[in-house]
Amino acid sequence: MHAVLNLTPEQDVKLGQIIAKVQDLPSMPAAATRVLQITGSADTNAQMIADAIVLDQALAAKVLKIANSAFYGLSRSVTMVKEAVVVLGISHVRNLVITASAAPWMRRALPGYDLEPKQLLLHGSAVAIGARMIAKSRRLTVADDAFVAGLLADIGKIVLSEYFDGKLATMISLGAQAGMTFDQVETKVMGFDHACVGARLAEDWNLPATLVHAIRYHHAPSEAPEAYRPLCDCIHLADYLTMLCGFGMGGDGMFYEVDEAAFERLGINANDLDHIVDEFVTAYQHQEALFEEISQS
Amino acid sequence: MSSASTSTRLMVNMAEIHVLTGAGQLVGLGLGSCIGLAAYDGSKKIAGLAHIVLPEAFVDRAVTEPGKFADTALPELIRKMELAGASRASLKFAYCGGANVFKFGPGKTNDVLEVGRRNADAVKAVLSKFSCRVVAHDVGGNSGRTMTFDVATGLIQVKVLSVGQEDLCTLS
């Protein structure tokens, strides 16, 4: 049952077929999904997070390697996952776990979008950082969700890339002539855009509904159910900042629509955009080394 | 400033300004709304590239990265070129980037959101203010660009993703 997408049975089958035809489909380790679930509850603690992580030894090793990297500059090395959670903090480790879990398939080249290796991870990292920055600045409670949702917002491109290889230039040209954004062209060609496909992947991985909605509506936040709109607004604006800065930009470039209503709902004056861009670039530069570390792990 | 071999390929990241002499390439990767502003002294083979992010420095903040803003990047680029031995009178310029999102959607009220257009306008204005010789520019549209500047020849090539690479000009 795919409640977020609200598809007809025929559409549901078609989307399932589109995804099923892709070889080497990305997946989210069960331990990472468990970490997301645990950290979403009020009574979580470091031991519970560590217990979930150590069920996946490869993931645990990555977390320890990154925690001991030069980026954090810890005065002594941590050898236990629980220790890493205590030292770095629950929300930080949660973000690290998801990034490390997604990195192996997010660093692939996506020829259908003219994306070089690592560029999807670069783009997702930037949206994650921007979305968290915006959520924190607006004192929203969704800051950690914003990071993970921003990171994963474009995962649907991994599936659609398989169908667009060699067709991208034509799709962009036809879209521009018809006054259509690239996600509208995707829908015209495939029946679904990358946001729909990504939301379906997230549902299949049993990610929390908050994240599924954020992925689904990151290009159309005004269409999101009201309860999820603040998070969708954060992802939408962070995606815009990321496009402006060209982080991980593919052939679809800036062929998207910006919804100014998202600024208004977040209480952001558009005249402050340059300050926000400046803060975003600084925040990104500060975190860049960490993502480089994770992408190598 | 640094001398370079033909194999040097120096990435000029956001807000950075780099100058190379003799040989090598300066690369402005992933220009969305940003502008890559190139300067060249052909007689001495001195090349500089600034990766500009925003049109104007903030009046309420100290400028720590002059390459970030159009109004501070140009004087700093010229200063670095002269420091490397370039003659200001010989300098030629070219720039590219300044893309915008395809659409603003229903109810757009604020042109401030068009950062790419504002960046391109600001670069044009500051080049005019400093009476700089501009050989070519390639701005606007909705696609990202990568700018490659060959130090030995002054050739500037612009790659538009999904479209391909073309010569913009030769600044010699």
- Residue by residue, DSSP assigns A248-287 as T--TTTT-SEEEHHHHHHHT--GGGHHHHHHHHHHHHHHH
Note down pLDDT in tens along chain B; length 172 residues.
556 666 789 999 999 999 999 999 999 999 999 999 999 999 999 999 999 999 999 998 899 999 999 999 999 999 999 999 999 999 999 999 999 998 887 666 678 889 999 999 999 999 999 999 999 999 999 999 999 999 999 999 999 987 899 999 999 8
- Give the nearest partner residue to B103 out of A172, A252, A257, using CB atoms: A257
Residue range A196-216: mean pLDDT, rounded: 94
Whole-number pLDDT of residue B105: 76
The pLDDT-based confidence of A297 (bands split at 50, 70, 90) is: low
B99 lies within 8 A of chain A by CB: yes
Query: Measured between alpha carbons, how far is A245 from A247 in angstroms, rounded to an integer?
Result: 6
User: Considering only A67-81, A115-129, B34-48, B97-111, which range has the smallest mean pLDDT?
Assistant: B97-111
User: Do residues A140 and A234 lie in contact, with contact meaning Cβ atoms separated by under 8 Å?
Assistant: yes
Query: Measured between alpha carbons, how far is B36 from B107 in angstroms, rounded to an integer?
Result: 31
- Give the nearest partner residue to A253 out of B110, B112, B144, using CB atoms: B144
The pLDDT-based confidence of A271 (bands split at 50, 70, 90) is: confident
B64 lies within 8 A of chain A by CB: no
Pairwise pLDDT comparison (A66 vs B140), residue with the higher score: B140
Q: A246 and B53 in contact by Cβ < 8 A?
A: no
How many angstroms away from the CA of B17 is the closest CA of chain A?
16
Hey, where are the domains in chain A?
Answer: 15-296
| Whether pLDDT at A16 is above 90 | yes
Residue range A234-257: mean pLDDT, rounded: 96
Mutate which of A255, A256, A285 to disrupt the B interface (most B C-beta within 10 Å)? Answer: A255
- The residues in B 69-98 lying below 8 A from A, measured between CB atoms, are none
Closest residue, chain A, to B31 (C-alpha): A246
Q: B115 and A275 in contact by Cβ < 8 A?
A: no
CA B85 from centre of chain: 20
* pLDDT 10s digits, A217-232: 999 999 999 999 999 9
ipTM over 0.85: yes
Closest residue, chain B, to A280 (C-alpha): B53
Q: A255 and B102 in contact by Cβ < 8 A?
A: yes
Whole-number pLDDT of residue B109: 63
- Please give the model's pTM, rounded to 2 decimal places: 0.94
**Whole-number average pLDDT of chain A:** 92
User: Do residues A156 and A197 lie in contact, with contact meaning Cβ atoms separated by under 8 Å?
Assistant: yes
**Taking the alpha carbons of B16, B170, B161, A292 in that order, is the dihedral positive or negative?**
negative
Query: Measured between alpha carbons, how far is B2 from B39 in angstroms, rounded to an integer?
Result: 15
Superfamily in which the A15-296 domain is placed by CATH: Hypothetical protein af1432 (1.10.3210.10)
Whole-number pLDDT of residue A2: 60
Chain B CB contacts of A244 under 8 Å are: 32-34, 115-116
Query: Measured between alpha carbons, how far is A123 from A241 in angstroms, rounded to an integer?
Result: 11
The pLDDT-based confidence of A209 (bands split at 50, 70, 90) is: very high
Pairing of strands B35-41, B46-52: antiparallel
* pLDDT 10s digits, A21-60: 998 899 999 999 999 988 888 788 999 999 999 999 999 9
Closest residue, chain A, to B160 (C-alpha): A251
